[in-house]
Amino acid sequence: MAWDEERVLALAPDPASGAAGRGLAVPARWTGLGASDAAVWGACRGSGTNPYQVCVDLGGDLAPAAFRCSCPSRRSPCKHALGLLLLWVQDAVPAAAEPEWARAWRAERAGRRSARAPGAPPRDPEAAARRAEQRAQRVEAGAAELREWLADRIRGGLGSAASDGAEELYGVAARMVDAQAPGLASGLRRAAAGIGRGRDWPGRLLSELALLHVLAEAGARLAELPADLAATVRTRLGFPVETADVLANGERVADDWLVAGVADEVTERLTTRRTWLRGRASGRPALLLSFAPPGQPLPGVLPVGHRVRGELAFYPGTVPLRALAADVDEPVRSEPPVGDGVGAACASFAAALAADPWLDRWPLLLAGVAPVPDGDGWALVDADGAALPLAERADPWPLLAVSAGAGVTVAGEWTGGGLRPLTVWEQDRAVRL
């Protein structure tokens, strides 16, 4: 796919970054500009004494670009990388030889990719097996401790949770981290964060703790479970699945995959990008995940509203959702998708939840829905009057600005707290929210 301004702005992690990138696409703000067949680089004057060093590896295949910038922003790409690319597509960057700092960064990235190549054997298979066994023992011990704590907590009641429950839950979560069971720790932290929020928080807390108890019990009975359910339980507990195993043994599905939505989540420890795909022929959802430590760039985002033709390899589980790109083409522009009504979308989520009770988010593609006020919040309502509430933190105004109150096609993530819109289609144009 050729680079143009639309493709560059599709990489922006949010509209504000895209607008800021436009403001930096001015040659006078830059020095040391240059471009090769593989990269674009330059130095951008900022608020500090020294200019920011910026380099974009143009990449290829599924990850069309990678970004390096010396600015402190956690967004990837940052506004400086977007501004540099916008200058480049405007033919304002001259061809030049790569400077040493840019060449060294790209060589380091290439070395990391080679080290992570699918099928590469571990350096010491016996040591890897011992570590896996030791981790399984720690997780089993942690799950047993959690079951005992949950039993004691329920016997004592939840009446004191409003005053000291959150601190206690965070303490137990820390012990689950020590036990190498990050899935149990995440559930405890999620339960703690909901204490005191809304009048129905005791019910939500009890539901979270019940799911954790079921997960801890299932973890002690992995050998008795069907293979798909055992894989789901291991994933929810936090056991890793090797990429090479997924590519070699995972279910393969070939289709035209619509890039329905992209969501970035930044925490103190990790930056996560969720890319939601939907098969045109199969109607099947798929989730591509990418991660980066704070301050490090994520792989280039696939542009929403485009499609990629190719084959995905799915991770095992009762609801295979997460996938890897096994063999896909470059993204091309797609016509607007055909979405579902609210009723059909809810039915798809109910079926998935019945198979995987720990499912915390599910992709929805809704047709003909309009944003309307709903009490203190907002909801999306379809032509039949069926409605889905927007998540508390979802900003309805960009969606309302695009739709002007009319029915539109919307892609988003459904969670227990409501729908988070990610993309809206205005006629044949996809707008990332």
Long-range contacts at 388-392 (CB < 8 A, ≥ 24 apart): 388/342, 388/345, 388/346, 388/364, 388/414, 388/418, 388/419, 389/418, 389/419, 390/418, 390/419, 390/420, 390/421, 391/415, 391/417, 391/418, 391/419, 391/420, 392/417, 392/418
| pLDDT tens by residue, 264-291 | 887 767 788 899 999 999 999 999 998 8
Q: pLDDT, tens digit, for every residue of 20-50?
A: 999 999 999 999 999 998 899 999 988 777 8
The amino acid that residue 418 corresponds to is: G
Q: Give the side-chain half-sphere CA count within 13 A for 311.
A: 10
Q: Residue 315: name the closest of 239, 224, 397, 390 by CA.
A: 239
Q: pLDDT tens digits for 196-211?
A: 777 788 888 899 999 9
**How confident is residue 381, by pLDDT bands cut at 50, 70 and 90?**
very high
| Residues 411, 413, 417: CA angle, nearest 5 degrees | 135
Q: What is the mean pLDDT of residues 336-355?
A: 93
Would you list the DSSP string of 213-241?
HHHHHHHTTGGGS-HHHHHHHHHHHT---
pTM score, whole prediction: 0.72
* Domain chopping of the chain, boundaries: 5-115, 125-236, 247-333, 342-432
